[in-house]
Structure 1
Amino acid sequence: MSVADEVFRFGRFTLDLRKGTIEQDDEPLFLRPKAYACLTHLARNMGRVVPKGELLETVWPGVYVTEDSLTQSIREIRKVLGDELVRTVSKRGYMLAAGTGPQALPEIGNQPIVAVLRFRNEGGDPANEAIVDGLAEDIINGLARFGTLTVLARNTSFSFASHAAAEWGEIRSRIGADFLVEGSVRRQEDRVLAAVNLIDAKVGSQLWGERYQAEGEGFFAIERDIVEAIIGRLVHRVTATGLKRSSRKPITSLATYELVLKGVTLLRDPAQADLEGAEALFNAAIARDPAYGLAYTYLALARSLNAEFYPVEPEILAQARDFADKGAQLAPDQATSRRIQSLVRAFMRQHEAAEHYLRIALELNPFDADCIEQMGYLLVMRGKPVDGLAWLARAQRIDPLQPYWFEFDRSLALYLIGDYRAAAETLEQSTKQTPWIRTRLAACYAQLGEIDEARRQIALIDDMGGKFSARAYMKIIPFESPADAAHFEEGVLLALGEKS
């Protein structure tokens, strides 16, 4: 254990185990030995719900004491720290609710906020929508890599198409962007014509505009040129390394790229994903270009995505893992490749490996909303719901019109810390009341003692038909801690009218 591991800071307090002290703003405080031992164990498990039995065994090893002794120590800690930092999680235990140093999030600060609006498809052919959206999304990813801008995520930016100047102010007021990137794309077989403009949304003026024309692989040079031009006008200096990392490894044809984009579109909403259709498109892309890493990455996602809602055979997940690893090998500088590596490992309950790959993804692109949101989800799975909530909140800042699964993950963190009402309210706001959302709602209402409402949610699931099973679903969420799994199963079983 390092020296840093012996010093914990939360709020205005510092617990220094080397010195055996607790201080507030450098002023010493006093705790009796058992209360200090309780706080020490809670600090070493900061953000995790520590069961009462575990605290009793740690603080009073080999000695039988009642829970009254533990309650008295917690009461003493709260007198010193206040009620907010030490939370009681009903029927489970206690948690020191403060973020940990190593989990610190990258700061947004006062960086300018940029939104890349959905580009216009000038030709009007729906078959070209994937290419049009793909160019705008690649610009988002390229800009986000620099860390000198806050780039709003696709879900928020694409809520608006490129508009006339009269509407720029309204867009700014709705999503808070300082600058807008808007444009259009015309596709003529392998020839692409693109027009892109950079807008100062505060004053409604155009800062820069350019037209591009390319054929075949030249299309990908357009993306880098656009990113460089925008960065060059919004920051003082662009490093060559940053530009290199913002560009995509060339592929053999625009058609290959388009196949992957169309497949990704079919996976955009996990609740309505066409997994077979997406897999067919990714396999077709691989047949055209066996070295295209992102095709393998998204094939891994398509192969494993069902694991979020239904039991999946281990062999299927093993195949997804192999595809994800190959994708990362071929595209090691793509944050998406590492993020999917992480997600597949999470589904396989290989939590340490999942966090390892996700941290690599965040090093590659620390401002990617999907990576940040997934870190929130993963920390919740690892028994650190408070840290998870902090990451999820940051993802929401980058993607304020976030997709519903951001709130879906947030609700589970709230459930694990015992805030069942807030968890239920979060789920009730979802625009898509899927069977798995209703299962979580049922668990929340059951824990609140509102059994009639809990059973109504279960009945609504039954009315939907299909192969979904609340009983099976409660077993597949990849919690690392058996106590967290038991906590969720308890709520579902209560809703089903069964004892846990």
Structure 2
Amino acid sequence: MTTATADQVFRFGGFTLDLAMGTLRGVNEPLFLRPKAFALLSHLARNMGRVVPKSELMDVVWPGVYVTEDSLTQSVREIRKVLGDDMVRTVSKRGYMLAAEAEAAPEISTQPIVAVVRFRNESGDPADEAMVDGFAEDLINGVARFGTVTVLARNSSFSFASFGRAEWPQIRARIGADYLVEGSLRRQGENVVVAVSLVDIGTASQLWGDRFQSHGAGLFAIEREIVEQIVSRLVTRVANAGLQQAARKPETSLAAYELLLRGFAMLRDPAQTDQRAAEALFEAAVAKDPNYGLAYTYLALARSLDGEFGRASDAVLENARDLADKGLALSPDQPTGHRVQSLIRLYMRDHEAAEQHMRIALQLNPYDADSIEQMGMLLTMRGRPLEALTWLARGIRIDPLHPHWYQFDRALALYMMGEFKQAADALELATRPAPWIRTRLAACYAQMGEMEKARRQISLIEEGDPFSPLDYALRGVPFENQADAEHLAEGVRLALGETEAIPGKA
């Protein structure tokens, strides 16, 4: 649970606890605790997020000495006085917990640093201040879940408000942020309008801005939906800005994070013409930082991608699984690691493990559109296309500039539901009509009775290509149930002219 430059430094809630130096610092100044209180906080920090029994705390802080629980209570009270009442939580009849999320120490020239400043309350009602601050806090917590940007804690970023350009240079000088998220919230009855901007502080330029609004009942549910959309788009914009900067540098000078960004952009390219180059970039990121968990995760993804076409060998998938395991071992709280491991397990036909990893990924980060979309794809493979379409629609809503595979996965769910026209429309959006895409499209047209279109798609699969449309339908798509594979194969057989159309199916 801890994140530290060494195992002796813990950052949480705007505080830095250095066990080797014996120091505790706030945002701008050193803080003091007496030795027993410091020892107590140290043990809670080592077990961040875990409920530590009172007996364990007393054994660690007062070893071999009989003391009453009053000594423990006094030390907890002292810590709360310094850190705030909410930082150490009492769990009735069990013990205490340091109720904070560990913050990763920012690496110079690697992950960008983002500050979400206090939003403006444009309703004019002081009673709305708590809601406005809570909204900005939700953004801080949501963006931090991605793990690909460093987000400053409230204690740092809330020392500034969204008052305009004059303060931007000061924000960078004082708290070291590369990007600033600022905005406003206006509440009128049960209606809320939120304006958000992402600013590059170095150039004092706005990279992105948008307005979101809700109407009518269910205000707080709609607020959550707005936060979900903003968070996903913010992270995408920050990553794109970082990629533009990295693109101007020679590869030999790039940090591991920037190498990762370049490779990730290649994987999301609709043309996907240089998958091996993406793999090489992830390998370079691993070589530059052998402890970079996310680099192993994306290397595993790149090596397993042929699984989408049913071509990855068992040995390739086992290697990808091992790489993904290493990525998770190095970064256990990184949701992307579980998402990639889920995909690999799906290709290995371990559907139960695939769903388990996906649900962990969504628990760690419910804002990630890729994870939401992939859950939809997984549910299609498990024979639950109606449920899948709900997830897929949500992923597309959160990320309207979604990558190409969102529509391909949606098309397969629609096909399994018998919505062949909608499925064909989604597949026609493909800018890279690969053999497997043409196979699915041919099956849709054949099921609709449009045999000329179906046969044309089959004919466009290049002669001599080892790809077999029927083998792909039966064995290349990781369906859990053979009946689903047969349903896809039925359309392919019709397109190939290997069987007569079933009455009433056209």
TM-score when normalising by structure 1:
0.52
Match in the other structure for 1:368: 368
Match in the other structure for 1:100: none
User: Paired residues, what number?
Assistant: 293
Deviation at 1:274, TM superposition (A): 2.3
What does 1:341-352 align with in structure 2 at a 5 Å threshold? 341-352=341-352
| SS at structure 2 position matched to 1:291 | coil
Deviation at 1:442, TM superposition (A): 0.5
Deviation at 1:265, TM superposition (A): 2.0
The correspondence for 1:196, drawn from 180, 193, 205, is: 180
| SS at structure 2 position matched to 1:272 | coil
Contact 2:114 2:178 in 1 (8 A): no
Is 1:420 matched up with 2:389? Answer: no
Match in the other structure for 2:482: 482
Contact 2:293 2:326 in 1 (8 A): yes
What does 1:163-202 align with in structure 2 at a 5 Å threshold? 194=178, 196=180, 198-200=182-184
| SS at structure 1 position matched to 2:182 | strand
Is 1:300 matched up with 2:284? Answer: no
Deviation at 1:362, TM superposition (A): 0.2
Compared with structure 1, are the counterparts of its residues 343 and 280 closer, same or farther at alpha carbon in structure 2 (3 Å cutoff)? same
Structure with greater Cα Rg? 2
Match in the other structure for 2:329: 329
Match in the other structure for 2:90: none
Same amino acid, percent of matched pairs: 53
Deviation at 1:343, TM superposition (A): 0.6
Compared with structure 1, are the counterparts of its residues 277 and 351 closer, same or farther at alpha carbon in structure 2 (3 Å cutoff)? same
| Matched AA of 2:470 | R
Alpha-carbon distance in structure 1 between the residues aligned to 2:140 and 2:288: 37
| Matched AA of 2:178 | A
Compared with structure 1, are the counterparts of its residues 138 and 354 closer, same or farther at alpha carbon in structure 2 (3 Å cutoff)? farther
Match in the other structure for 1:318: 318
Contact 1:345 1:351 in 2 (8 A): yes
Deviation at 1:443, TM superposition (A): 0.2
Contact 1:291 1:330 in 2 (8 A): yes
Deviation at 1:402, TM superposition (A): 2.0
TM-score when normalising by structure 2:
0.51
- Higher mean alpha-carbon deviation, 477-486 vs 415-424, is at 415-424
Alpha-carbon distance in structure 2 between the residues aligned to 1:206 and 1:349: 43
Compared with structure 1, are the counterparts of its residues 209 and 445 closer, same or farther at alpha carbon in structure 2 (3 Å cutoff)? closer
Deviation at 1:420, TM superposition (A): 1.3
Compared with structure 1, are the counterparts of its residues 330 and 273 closer, same or farther at alpha carbon in structure 2 (3 Å cutoff)? farther
Match in the other structure for 2:434: 434
| Matched AA of 1:368 | D
Is 1:495 matched up with 2:495? Answer: yes
Contact 1:414 1:423 in 2 (8 A): yes
Contact 1:200 1:207 in 2 (8 A): no
| SS at structure 1 position matched to 2:383 | coil
Contact 2:113 2:178 in 1 (8 A): no
Deviation at 1:496, TM superposition (A): 1.2
Deviation at 1:198, TM superposition (A): 2.5
| SS at structure 2 position matched to 1:461 | coil
Q: Alpha-carbon deviations, 1:360-394, whole Å to 9, x = none?
A: 00000011100000000000000000000010011
Alpha-carbon distance in structure 2 between the residues aligned to 1:428 and 1:353: 32
Alpha-carbon distance in structure 2 between the residues aligned to 1:205 and 1:145: 15
Match in the other structure for 2:443: 443
Contact 2:256 2:285 in 1 (8 A): yes
Contact 2:112 2:179 in 1 (8 A): no
What does 1:249-288 align with in structure 2 at a 5 Å threshold? 255-269=255-269, 271-288=271-288
Deviation at 1:417, TM superposition (A): 1.3
| Matched AA of 1:484 | D
Compared with structure 1, are the counterparts of its residues 484 and 436 closer, same or farther at alpha carbon in structure 2 (3 Å cutoff)? same
Deviation at 1:459, TM superposition (A): 1.3
Q: Alpha-carbon deviations, 1:148-190, whole Å to 9, x = none?
A: 9998xx9xxxxxxxxxxxxxxxxxxxxxxxxxx9xx99xxxxx
Deviation at 1:332, TM superposition (A): 1.0
Alpha-carbon distance in structure 2 between the residues aligned to 1:197 and 1:466: 50
Compared with structure 1, are the counterparts of its residues 145 and 491 closer, same or farther at alpha carbon in structure 2 (3 Å cutoff)? farther
Contact 2:115 2:177 in 1 (8 A): no
Q: Alpha-carbon deviations, 1:235-282, whole Å to 9, x = none?
A: 9xxxxxxxxxx9xxxxxx971222222222221236515232222222
Alpha-carbon distance in structure 2 between the residues aligned to 1:262 and 1:375: 25
Unmatched segments (≥5 aa) in structure 1? 1-130, 155-180, 186-191, 214-233, 236-245, 247-252
Structure number with the bigger relative contact order (C-alpha 8 A, sep ≥ 6) is: 1
| Matched AA of 2:409 | D
| Matched AA of 1:196 | L
| SS at structure 1 position matched to 2:402 | coil
Match in the other structure for 1:402: 402
| SS at structure 2 position matched to 1:462 | coil
Contact 2:376 2:391 in 1 (8 A): yes
Alpha-carbon distance in structure 2 between the residues aligned to 1:268 and 1:208: 22
Contact 2:382 2:480 in 1 (8 A): yes
Compared with structure 1, are the counterparts of its residues 363 and 434 closer, same or farther at alpha carbon in structure 2 (3 Å cutoff)? same
For the aligned residue pairs, the C-alpha RMSD in angstroms reads: 3.9
Match in the other structure for 1:354: 354
Deviation at 1:421, TM superposition (A): 1.8
What does 1:82-231 align with in structure 2 at a 5 Å threshold? 135=112, 146=138, 194=178, 196=180, 198-200=182-184, 211=201
What does 1:376-391 align with in structure 2 at a 5 Å threshold? 376-391=376-391
Alpha-carbon distance in structure 2 between the residues aligned to 1:458 and 1:144: 52
Match in the other structure for 2:469: 470
Match in the other structure for 1:217: none
| Matched AA of 1:332 | P
Q: Alpha-carbon deviations, 1:307-343, whole Å to 9, x = none?
A: 1024111100000000011111111111111100101
Q: Alpha-carbon deviations, 1:474-498, whole Å to 9, x = none?
A: 2210000000001101111211122
Compared with structure 1, are the counterparts of its residues 348 and 210 closer, same or farther at alpha carbon in structure 2 (3 Å cutoff)? closer
Deviation at 1:138, TM superposition (A): 12
Q: Alpha-carbon deviations, 1:121-171, whole Å to 9, x = none?
A: xxxxxxxxxx89x749999xxx999479998xx9xxxxxxxxxxxxxxxxx
Alpha-carbon distance in structure 1 between the residues aligned to 2:413 and 2:292: 36
Alpha-carbon distance in structure 2 between the residues aligned to 1:144 and 1:313: 47
| Matched AA of 1:282 | F
Match in the other structure for 1:226: none
